[in-house]
Structure 1
Amino acid sequence: MNRIIKIAGQVGESVLSIVGIRVGTEEPHHLRRPLTDGVEIRQYGPRIAAETTVAGEKQAALNTGFRRLAGYIFGGNHHDTEIAMTAPVSQQSAGQDIAMTAPVSQTGSAEDGWTVRFFMPSKWSMETLPKPDDDAVRLVPVPAETVAVLRFSGDRGPRAVAAATERLHKALRDNGIEAVGEAVAWFYDPPWTLPFRRRNEVAVPIEA
């Protein structure tokens, strides 16, 4: 009976994700303030991420990286944890729970490879997270940072991300703020979410 209830809940959450409703997905804690109508400044504390680097075309690398990291939280770890898909990704197990927080992060280039990250829930530490079975998956500490973020919906392919990045850089220039790192693309919704309901973001590190 419990299994039926869990499956029903997962199906319901997947249906909700079609229209961009995320259920039970933790986001890394942050403080924020508006910069313009479409851009805000966020301060994030230290986090932990599972990451992998994939060569090739950007969208294909995102898909490959997503599957590789999902393999980790779906049980490809030294604790053999069982995980079930929710929206966008979460885990159910009799013992430990590893859930992916939103967003999924992607940065890099075709020459150097694309790094895809799943941020781990705040309850975990480097000492308590199970070690990945796949050597291509790494657990890394992510230091505290201040970023400027622009949110957009719809297409999240390379051209859309590049256009959003340019809008973000223009907003920073217009406000006399200098970027101190490369732009990162953040995706909050699964591929089946209706494009106009998707939450996509580009973030650029700035001075605290």
Structure 2
Amino acid sequence: MLTTRMQSVLKRPFELRSRCRGTLQQPPVNCLRTKARSFRHPHYFRVISHAARHDAIVGDLAANASSGVFMGSSSMEETQRRAFVMQDTCSFLASDLKLLFEKGEITESRYASNIAFEDPISKYDSRDGYVFNIRLLRTLFDIAFDLHSIAVTGPDCITARWTMHMRPGLLPWRPNLTITGRTVYRVDPRSGVILSHTDYWDALKRNTFLSLEGVVHVLRMVTQLQLTPAVETPKYTVLRKFKEYEIRRYEPYLVAEVPMTHGSGPASGSGFSELAGYLFGGNAVGLELQMTTPVLTRVEAAQRNESVAMQFVMERRYPDVSSLPAPSNPRIATRRQEGGFAAALTFPGWPLDFEVVRAERQLRDLLLRDGLLPAPAPAPGYLLARYNDPGTPPALRRNEVLIQLEGFKWPPEEGQE
């Protein structure tokens, strides 16, 4: 977007001679606001495609400035011109980053030949090295890249926040490597050429190359053995992954829920057989429903970690509670979970009561340390999520403790990283 000052300057009347007719025309007001942008020049009118618009815009801005359209070369006008170039570069990156790992290519004219790239475990100082790194990652991993936000954060700085999921194709257990963080781009504000790209991972305290902490973090993810069954599970996005836990944003989902026996511990299996009966035809229409994951146990921390209810997640093909078959068992209720933000801590094994309580306390302490839970507030309840069937060996089992985060803001404001 143009600044208010630049818009007022560009809107001042000047004559544009039509090549088709010998008449004088006023330039269109919105010619800089469409995806295929039109840019005005004292002698011609042209439409610039999305791929080529940057070089033409920057060149025309310089030409107009020298010919007097910007009414001189004061520092205010130069600042406005640079702000426009930075915003255009930010828009370019927003579209380019979403396809970067799909194409394995970059728009070379937008990157300096000696671009400096650095993350905790790799470093390059050329455009060829930059492209090589992208192609190497595409070769070794199946990559899903989520861009959460991108903005101009300084006179020559653009900051992006993202999540990257990588699955190595050569490892039979197919671990999921999840890295979240932010990228700081340094840009030449005169030309919009990207000069450097520096990644900072949320999980690390030391992000400079070569970070031993970063190497250990990657190896830990590669060697994780917990299995997640290939069945439906509630949809969520990992927003921030730290060394010990991660923050997720859940979409709403439906559950069937049954109260648990009074005094049940957090790892109790009370209620499982009743919910299984509902799935296997114990409903008003005798319909067998598909098994999903995880099995959820709702625990009230205020009641000394006593389990309140067990929940089965329902298939996503049911859009709302009214579309689910009514349970034959009057103790079973169906309801909608609204989703939202939650912190999750993962641990393996057969979860015994004391292990669940220990994991919950560890997660709560971490959230208090990081300022994500208010210390004076009463301890909220939590969910225990168990993903695997009884036949899965303990070392391969995936269990999680989840605590809902009230008042969590996303994306974080600048300076609140």
Pick one of 47, 72, 75 that aligns with 2:278.
72
- 1-structure distance, mates of 2:356, 2:267: 15
Letter in 2 for 1:118: F
Secondary structure in 2 matching 1:26:
coil
User: Residues 135 and 127 of structure 1: is their aligned pair in 2 closer, same or farther, counting only changes over 3 Å?
Assistant: same
Between 53-62 and 185-194, report the one with greater CA deviation: 53-62
Letter in 2 for 1:122: R
- 2-structure distance, mates of 1:23, 1:61: 20
Match of residue 384 from structure 2: 185
1:4-23 equivalences under 5 Å are 21-23=227-229
- TM-score if structure 2 supplies the norm length? 0.39
Asked which structure has the greater CA Rg, the reply is 2
Question: Can you give the 5+ residue segments of structure 2 that lack an aligned partner in the other structure?
Answer: 1-224, 409-417
What is the aligned-residue identity percentage?
Answer: 28
Match of residue 115 from structure 1: 309
Letter in 2 for 1:146: F
Deviation by residue 1:139-170 (Cα, 9 ceiling, x = unmatched): 01111221000000013011000010111011
Contact 1:101 1:119 in 2 (8 A): yes
Contact 2:258 2:311 in 1 (8 A): yes
1:48-197 equivalences under 5 Å are 48-58=254-264, 62-82=268-288, 98-108=289-299, 114-124=308-318, 125-178=320-373, 181-197=380-396
User: Residues 35 and 195 of structure 1: is their aligned pair in 2 closer, same or farther, counting only changes over 3 Å?
Assistant: same
Pick one of 236, 257, 272 that aligns with 1:30.
236
Between 103-112 and 168-177, report the one with greater CA deviation: 103-112
Letter in 1 for 2:284: H
Secondary structure in 1 matching 2:316:
coil
Contact 2:229 2:293 in 1 (8 A): no
Pick one of 381, 395, 399 that aligns with 1:200.
399
Secondary structure in 1 matching 2:366:
helix
Contact 1:20 1:193 in 2 (8 A): no
- 1-structure distance, mates of 2:344, 2:229: 23
- 2-structure distance, mates of 1:199, 1:107: 17
After TM superposition, give the deviation of residue 184 of structure 1 in Å. 1.2
Match of residue 88 from structure 1: none
Contact 2:266 2:384 in 1 (8 A): no
Between 70-79 and 169-178, report the one with greater CA deviation: 169-178
Contact 1:186 1:200 in 2 (8 A): yes
1:34-45 equivalences under 5 Å are 34-45=240-251
Match of residue 13 from structure 1: none
Secondary structure in 2 matching 1:41:
strand
After TM superposition, give the deviation of residue 61 of structure 1 in Å. 8.1
Contact 2:256 2:335 in 1 (8 A): yes
Contact 1:61 1:114 in 2 (8 A): no
Contact 2:296 2:386 in 1 (8 A): yes
Contact 2:384 2:400 in 1 (8 A): yes
CA RMSD of aligned residues (A): 2.4
After TM superposition, give the deviation of residue 59 of structure 1 in Å. 5.5
User: Residues 200 and 194 of structure 1: is their aligned pair in 2 closer, same or farther, counting only changes over 3 Å?
Assistant: same
Contact 2:341 2:404 in 1 (8 A): yes
Contact 1:146 1:206 in 2 (8 A): yes
Question: Can you give the 5+ residue segments of structure 1 that lack an aligned partner in the other structure?
Answer: 1-18, 83-97
Letter in 1 for 2:296: S
After TM superposition, give the deviation of residue 63 of structure 1 in Å. 2.3
Count of residue pairs the alignment pairs up: 175
Contact 2:236 2:251 in 1 (8 A): yes
Letter in 1 for 2:273: R
- 1-structure distance, mates of 2:311, 2:388: 14
- 1-structure distance, mates of 2:342, 2:254: 17
Higher relative CO (Cα under 8 Å, sequence separation at least 6) belongs to: 1
- TM-score if structure 1 supplies the norm length? 0.76
After TM superposition, give the deviation of residue 173 of structure 1 in Å. 1.4
